[in-house]
Amino acid sequence: MVPLQEKAQILDAEGIRRALTRIAHEILEKNKGTQDLVLIGIRRRGVPLAQRIAAKIKEIEGTAVPLGILDITLYRDDLSRLGYHPVIRKTEVPFSITDKKVVLVDDVLFTGRTVRAALDALMDLGRPQLIQLAVLVDRGHRELPIRADFVGKNVPTSQREIISVHLQEVDGIDKVVIDEPID
Amino acid sequence: MKFERKDILGLQDLSTEEIKLVLDTAEPMKEILAREIKKVPTLRGRSVVTLFYEPSTRTRTSFELAAKYLSADTASISVATSSVQKGESLRDTAKTIEVMGADTIIIRHSVSGAPHFLARMVNARVINAGDGAHEHPTQALLDMFTIREKKGRLAGLKVAILGDITHSRVARSNIWGLTKMGAEVRVVGPPTLMPPFIQDLGVKAFYRCEEGLENVDVINVLRVQLERQQKGLFPSIREYTRLFGLDETKLRYAKPDVLVLHPGPVNRGIEISPEIQDGPHSAINEQVTNGVAVRMALLYLLMSGGEVHEIAS
Summarised one tens digit per residue, pLDDT across range B237-260 is: 899 999 999 999 999 999 999 999
| B291 in Cβ contact with B30 (< 8 Å) | no
Interface test with A, best of B42, B71, B294, B302 (most A CBs within 10 A): B42
Beta pairing partners, A180: A5
Q: DSSP letter at B68?
A: H
User: What chain B residue is nearest to A83 in terms of C-alpha separation?
Assistant: B306
Is residue B134 annotated as a catalytic residue, yes or no?
no
**Residue whose C-alpha is closest to residue A81's, from B298, B305, B102, B43:** B305
- Which one is catalytic: B50, B59, B166, B241? B59
Shortest distance, CA B244 to any CA of chain A (angstroms): 40
pTM of the full predicted structure?
Answer: 0.91
Interface test with A, best of B40, B69, B70, B71 (most A CBs within 10 A): B40
Shortest distance, CA B100 to any CA of chain A (angstroms): 20
Interchain pair B28, A124: CB under 8 A: no
The H helix count followed by the E strand count for chain B is 11, 9
ipTM of the shown complex? 0.84
Summarised one tens digit per residue, pLDDT across range A125-163 is: 999 999 999 999 999 999 999 999 999 999 999 999 999
| A120 in Cβ contact with B41 (< 8 Å) | yes
Contact residues, chain A, for B42 at CB < 8 Å: 74-75, 79
Shortest distance, CA A67 to any CA of chain B (angstroms): 17
Shortest distance, CA B11 to any CA of chain A (angstroms): 20
- Which one is catalytic: B108, B169, B186, B295? B108
**Residue whose C-alpha is closest to residue B54's, from B109, B117, B106:** B109
What mean pLDDT do residues B123-149 have?
Answer: 97
Interchain pair B37, A87: CB under 8 A: no
Q: What is the pLDDT of residue B129?
A: 98
How far is C-alpha A150 from the chain's CA centre?
A: 10
Reading phi first (left if > 0) and then psi (alpha if -120 to 50, else beta), residue B306 is in: beta
How is chain A classified by DSSP, letter by letter?
Answer: ---EEEEEEEE-HHHHHHHHHHHHHHHHHHHTSSTTEEEEEETTTHHHHHHHHHHHHHHHHS-PPPEEEE--GGG-S-GGG-SS-PPP---B--S--TT-EEEEEEEEESSSHHHHHHHHHHHHH---SEEEEEEEEE----SSS---SEEEEE----TT-EEEEE-HHHHSS-EEEEEEE--
Q: Considering only the beta carbons, identify the residue of B3, B28, B300 that sits closest to A89.
A: B28
Summarised one tens digit per residue, pLDDT across range B178-230 is: 999 999 999 999 999 999 999 999 999 999 999 999 999 999 999 998 766 66
Q: Considering only the beta carbons, identify the residue of A83, A88, A121 that sits closest to B25.
A: A88
Interface test with A, best of B4, B18, B39, B304 (most A CBs within 10 A): B304
- Which one is catalytic: B134, B136, B148, B172? B136
Interchain pair A84, B305: CB under 8 A: yes
Mean pLDDT of chain B: 93
CA distance B302 to B260: 30
What mean pLDDT do residues A9-27 have?
Answer: 98
Residue B124: how many CB atoms within 10 A of its CB? 24
CA distance A92 to B85: 49
Shortest distance, CA A2 to any CA of chain B (angstroms): 18
Contact residues, chain B, for A74 at CB < 8 Å: 28, 32, 40-42, 70, 300
**Chain A residues near any Cβ of chain B (below 8 Å):** 71, 74-75, 79-85, 87-92, 120-121, 124-126
- Which one is catalytic: B5, B6, B20, B58? B58
Contact residues, chain A, for B1 at CB < 8 Å: 84-85, 87
**Residue whose C-alpha is closest to residue A150's, from A132, A163, A129:** A132
Q: What is the pLDDT of residue B311?
A: 40
Q: Considering only the beta carbons, identify the residue of B3, B28, B36 that sits closest to A88.
A: B28
Is residue B86 annotated as a catalytic residue, yes or no?
yes
What mean pLDDT do residues B122-140 have?
Answer: 97
User: What chain B residue is nearest to A73 in terms of C-alpha separation?
Assistant: B42
Residue B298, helix vs strand vs coil: helix
Instruction: Kindly state the percentage of chain A with pLDDT values over 90.
Output: 87
Interchain pair A82, B305: CB under 8 A: yes
Summarised one tens digit per residue, pLDDT across range A57-91 is: 999 999 999 999 999 999 988 887 776 778 889 89
Summarised one tens digit per residue, pLDDT across range A82-126 is: 767 788 898 999 999 999 999 999 999 999 999 999 999 999 999
Interchain pair B306, A79: CB under 8 A: no
CA distance B292 to B171: 20
Shortest distance, CA A90 to any CA of chain B (angstroms): 4
